[in-house]
Amino acid sequence: MAYERVITACDRVEQVERDRAAQWLQVFHDEAVRAQAILVELMSGLAVNHPDPDVAALSANLENLYHYAIQELVQANTTKSPEPIAAVRLVVDGLHDAWVTGVR
């Protein structure tokens, strides 16, 4: 569900930037920050020091992806540009798909 909420936040940011209705800057900011917070929370639960090297490596790779996505969200928020949001959405879509496939 966390990935789905990040995807929703990205969709809302892109939509509000396109529409530029009243309060669009605030909604853009709020959704970008919400997505960042979710990714930070996911990052905090990673087992980068796990004794199993495969688990530690997977955790480190996820940490790098989360860090990249957070950087892109910050960039999008400071510039109010949707381009970095598209990159975040692509990464999180892939993680979501992998998660759903792995759960089945």
Q: Express each pLDDT in 42-98 by its tens digit.
A: 999 999 999 999 999 999 999 999 999 999 999 999 999 999 999 999 999 999 999
Minimal CA–CA distance to 69: which of 31, 41, 25, 35? 35
Measure Cα distances from 2 to 7, 43, 45, 80 in Å: 9, 12, 13, 23
Q: What is the pTM of this model?
A: 0.91
CATH classification of the domain holding 21 = 1.20.120.340
CA distance 41 to 24: 26
Provide the domain count of the chain: 1
For 25-42, the pLDDT digits (tens) are 999 999 999 999 999 999
H helices within 20-103, ranges in order? 24-44, 53-79, 83-103
Backbone φ, ψ for residue 58 (5° rounding) = -60, -45
Residue 38: domain span: 2-103
